[in-house]
Structure 1
Amino acid sequence: MKAAKRTAPATVIAPAPLRRTVLLVVPDPAEQAELAAILLHDGYEIIEALTGADALELCLARAPDIVLADRALPDMSGLSLCAAFRRTERQSHGYFVLISSDGSDAEMQAGLREGVDDILTKPVAPMALRARLAAGERLLRIEEELNASNAQLRSAMERLSQTQAAMERDLREARKLQQGLVRERVGRFGMAEVSLLLRPSGHIGGDLVGFFPITDQRIGLFALDVSGHGVTAALLTAQLSVHLSGSPDQNVALRGAQSGADAVTPGGLAHFFNTMMLEEMNTDSYFTMIYGDLNHRTGKLRMVQAGHPHPVLQRADGSIQRLGKGGMPVGVLERPVFDEFTVRMKPGDRLLITSDGITEASAPNGRLLGDDGIEAIMRTNAFLGGVAFLESMAWSVSEYCRGERLDDMSALLLEMRADGP
């Protein structure tokens, strides 16, 4: 094995800064010296070998950028050397040029099969050598730039993965906090029993359901659905939950009751939120709402519908009717029209309020569950009540859309018990 470095002749112009390492494998000393002089002049660092075995050892030890190898070596062919070179573990491709006295197409095809990048025909002309080296330089430079770009991409992807993992942890915690907004899932008030369901489609969502006592005879019931998904919807939902919490000093609907007057009417509450959205919040979001004021002793229920899906009333005899005319969403127009109505609940009746994540659940064929689907679920599950009914409904919706649920799912079930006080 020979790994000596040649020095440029005195008459040769000083070389440019070294760019690449070239392994020169030529058994003819005169030819090797001629090629080495050209390489040194062009600024390459040269290592030399006379046999294929020595060349392979240098490839492992020095990992040359370019290999110039003669077709006929003492111990193996240049093609065999190229094949062995390609099998070595390298961080880069390595440019292999075969020096051959045969420039035929057959020789070129044989070289390509073994991994040769280019062929120089003997006798080697300096211009031809420089042209092959220039081609190799371009290929190696492109490879280096690609590797650098890939390294930057891998680094960026790793940072992105770490950021996403942190976001996932934060969103999981945010979901726990959002689920905590619904403090009680079941409430019993005289003959009335209220049950709640809240299932975000992702980590966090924009749905909210709840209830709170107004007086010893009345309770407030609400269902909200903020437009959009994610953090923005969740933050607005959290703020609205404060305005509808059970705390009298924060609950907007109870402000009138604090001063001795009556609580805010359902329609008045919708208009309050509409003004708040337009004047106090710098956001493009809006929300739909159902709010009801129930006297659980008399069964009188005053309600407002603001763009939310129709409440569905199932009487004790099994008959079903949809309530309300729709109304406008909250936070869209300065002078909205909300739908206000009153219904009388009797023992054995129940009222179901759902978000559009249920009514607009889509089957694989694109068909929506719709109001007809909700009515079918209510009839099918007539023997169930409370949380058991809501869980069965949630399962039916998931089955209907084959688990591909794209929107939050929430519901409020109001039941008038015949066994109440």
Structure 2
Amino acid sequence: MGKTRSAQDAGGLTAFTDVVYLSDKPEMPAEIRRLFRHKKVSSCLLPLDRYDQIRTRPDLVGTVLVDAEGLDIAQDQRLGRIIESLERDNLSILLLTQRIRRPVRSFSLISSEGSFSMSNTVGSISPDDLWARICINLSDRKNENSGIAAKAPAPVSLTERLRQSHPADQPQPEGAFVDGLKEQLRLAGLVQRDFLPAQLPNSAEVRWAATFQPAEWVSGDIYDIARIDEQHIGFYVADAVGHSVPAALLTIFVKQALQMRQTTGNSYRIFTPAEVVKNLNQRMTGQKLSGHQFVTCCYCLLNVKTRQLTLARAGHPYPILLRQGEPPRQLEARGSLLGIFENAEFTQEFVQLQPGDRLLLYSDGAESLIGRLHDKEGFRYTEEFLALTDASITEIVDRLTEMAAHREIKPAELDDLTIIGLQLP
């Protein structure tokens, strides 16, 4: 443990590696190498354009650090493709956009100012914070043969403080504390659901279906379907990196920051989908969010009178159009992840829907049910999904939800599941 090597020189990954450092630079920053040596973490350096070596053996990777320091806006599409590919393999990712600015002299808990940054618009974090984030990722990628030795640095836990404050002959409060924590998480999940649509805007022009299944008490996904005016409906699915409480908090920010229209006095202007995701990205980068947080999103605008659909995508799975007598079709639009580049640009696509058309918008937790992107064959749908393509949108969403509940997956592959769909009469 604690050794750093070049996976390229070694001919790829051959043994479990706690941290794979992806970078176009010839070596890791000295401070990060010191951190890994101090914590006895195995690591390797891999060029960005060789990231496919990770995908060939994702089981040998604990977490991936992507060094984006120095990359300009022209390269954000490349970076987005790399991160999307790694996420499809359920790999934990940390995105690094600035170098450590001073030597690491101490690994005790220290101030988070001035040492390390994970976003070009956020405050810096300490090496201890970086180490804690690495360990959180490693805890989700335990390998039976590796016996990962890394353990997250942490102050004395609340449970330990409670134990110290109670004599040994008195009942210990751990059980009550855990029960209370579970209840708080349960209530947090209920609060998050309050931010979802109370009812779907079904009408004679369009029918809707939706499912929202958190992997834990709370979800890193969020969606909305909102009637903007009599003629337009805006809808989206957004997916914050990771799941559980940190990702759930970010979804609430997304819900509040995403604006579908601008009202001035008695008039209003509906934002185009490209404007919606661009404005959301600027809100995220301008908010100075701490850590390595980023979001994928696909936002669509439907004109229920003309049946024209306009969409913009930010690193999110492509929506799928189902049309009678035709194979499923992915609706492609270019756009990078949200929260990385302040001046990122997003394109939008137009689709003229027809009577009977159905559209699926989903988070990456549903990808294994619908299909996978293969390097040589492109996107290939599952047989189970193809068997559903003639069904109504309600039947499709219900069946996918049922399939998700009964699929056998590893704990590390557990992810939030969100699907929304529409159908034109």
Q: Normalising to structure 1: TM-score of the pair?
A: 0.55
Question: Displacement of 1:291 after TM fit?
Answer: 0.5
Alpha-carbon distance in 1 for matches of 2:267, 2:275: 17
Equivalent residue, structure 1, for 2:306: 298
Instruction: Pick the structure with more helix per residue.
Output: 1
SS at match of 2:339: coil
The answer as to whether partners of 2:361 and 2:421 remain within 8 angstroms in 1 is: yes
Offset of residue 349 of structure 1: 0.6
Tell me the SS of whatever aligns to 2:398: helix
Displacement of 1:403: 8.1
Q: 1:255 is paired with a residue of what secondary structure?
A: strand
Deviations 1:373-400 (A, max 9, x none): 46x4443223532443212112223434
Q: Does 1:238 align with 2:252?
A: yes
Matches within 5 A, 1:332-371: 332-360=340-368
Correspondence 1:393 to 2:407: no
Uncovered stretches (5+) of structure 1, i.e. residues with no partner: 1-148, 245-251, 364-369
Rounded to whole Å, the distance in 2 between the matches of 1:191 and 1:259 is 27
- CA gap of 1:224–1:192, structure 2 versus 1, over 3 A, is same
Q: Go from structure 1 to structure 2 and tell me whether the alpha carbon gap of 1:156 and 1:355 turns closer, same or farther (over 3 Å shift).
A: farther
When residues 332 and 360 of structure 1 are mapped into structure 2, their CA distance, relative to the original with a 3 A threshold, is: farther
Structure 1 residues 158, 318: closer, same or farther in 2, change over 3 A? Answer: farther
Paired letter, 2:287 = E
Q: Deviations over 1:95-153 (max 9, x none)?
A: xxxxxxxxxxxxxxxxxxxxxxxxxxxxxxxxxxxxxxxxxxxxxxxxxxxxxx99x99
Distance (whole Å) between structure 1 residues aligned to residue 310 and residue 200 of structure 2: 21
For 2:316, the equivalent position in structure 1 comes to: 308
Alignment of 1:93-242 (within 5 A): 158-242=172-256
Pair 1:325–1:159, CA change in 2 (3 A): same
- Residues 377 and 393, structure 1, Cα contact 8 Å, conserved in 2: no
Task: State the 1:334 CA deviation.
Answer: 1.7
Could you report, residue by residue, the CA deviation over 1:209-247 in whole angstroms, capped at 9, with x for unpaired residues? 121112211110111101122222112212322345xxx
Matches of 1:401 and 1:371, distance apart in 2: 22
Unaligned runs of 5+ in 2: 1-162, 372-377
Question: Is the alpha carbon distance of 1:351 and 1:165 closer, same or farther for their aligned partners in structure 2, counting shifts above 3 Å?
Answer: same
Q: 1:330 pairs with 335, 338, 347, which one? A: 338
Partner Cα distance (1:153, 1:203) in 2: 33
Seen in structure 2, the aligned counterparts of structure 1 residues 358 and 161 have a Cα distance that, compared at 3 Å, is same
Question: More relative contact order in 1 or in 2 (CA 8 Å, sep 6+)?
Answer: 2
Distance in 1, Cα, partners of 2:392 & 2:174: 46
State the SS of the aligned residue for 1:352: strand
- Do 1:318 and 1:379's aligned partners in 2 also have CA atoms closer than 8 Å? no
- Aligned residue for 2:260, secondary structure, equals helix
SS of equivalent residue, structure 2 residue 261:
helix
Equivalent residue for 1:253, pick from 234, 244, 260: 260
AA paired with 1:207?
D
Offset of 1:185 from its aligned partner?
4.9
Amino acid of the structure 2 residue aligned with 1:240:
V
| Residue 289 of structure 1, aligned match among 282, 297, 304 | 297
Letter matched to residue 423 of structure 2: E
3-state SS, counterpart of residue 252 of structure 2: helix
**TM-score, with length taken from structure 2:** 0.54
| Residue 343 of structure 1, CA deviation | 0.7
Q: 1:306 to 1:155 in 2, by over 3 A?
A: farther
CA distance, structure 1, for counterparts of residue 273 and residue 250 of structure 2: 20
Higher alpha-carbon Rg: 1
What secondary structure sits across from 1:169 in the alignment?
A: helix
- Secondary structure of 2:355's partner? coil
The answer on whether the counterparts of 2:257 and 2:283 sit within 8 Å (CA) in structure 1 is no
Q: Is the 8 A contact 2:261 2:268 kept in 1?
A: no
Equivalent residue for 2:286?
279
- Per the alignment, do residues 211 and 362 of structure 1 end up closer, same or farther by CA in structure 2, a change over 3 Å counting? closer
For residue 254 of structure 1, report the CA deviation from its aligned partner. 1.9
For residues 300 and 277 of structure 1, the distance between their equivalents in structure 2, rounded to whole angstroms, comes to 29
Distance 1:257 1:312, change over 3 A: farther
Note closer, same or farther for the CA distance 1:257–1:397 as it changes in structure 2 (3 Å cut): farther
Aligned to 2:42: none
Task: Provide closer, same or farther for how the CA distance between residues 393 and 269 of structure 1 changes in structure 2, counting only shifts above 3 A.
Answer: same
Give the Cα separation in 1 of the matches to 2:264 and 2:207.
23
Distance 2:224 2:387 in 1: 25
- Which region of structure 1 is more displaced relative to structure 2, 157-166 or 345-354? 157-166
One-letter amino acid of the structure 2 residue matched with residue 184 of structure 1:
A
How far apart are the structure 2 equivalents of 1:255 and 1:185?
A: 23
| Shift of residue 157, structure 1, vs aligned partner | 11
Q: Secondary structure, in 3 states, of the residue corresponding to 1:303?
A: strand
- Structure 1 residues 216, 156: closer, same or farther in 2, change over 3 A? farther
2:341 maps to amino acid: L
Deviation at 1:186, TM superposition (A): 3.0
CA-based RMSD of the aligned residues comes to 3.2
Question: 1:7-46 residue pairs with structure 2 within 5 A?
Answer: none
Contact 2:323 2:356 in 1 (8 A): yes
- Distance between the aligned counterparts of 1:153 and 1:378, measured in 2? 59
Amino acid paired to 2:177: T
Q: Determine the structure 2 residue equivalent to 1:135.
A: none
CA distance in 2, matches of 1:282, 1:291: 22
Equivalent pairs, count: 255
- Matched residue of 2:235: which SS? strand
Which secondary structure state, in structure 2, belongs to the residue aligned with residue 372 of structure 1? strand
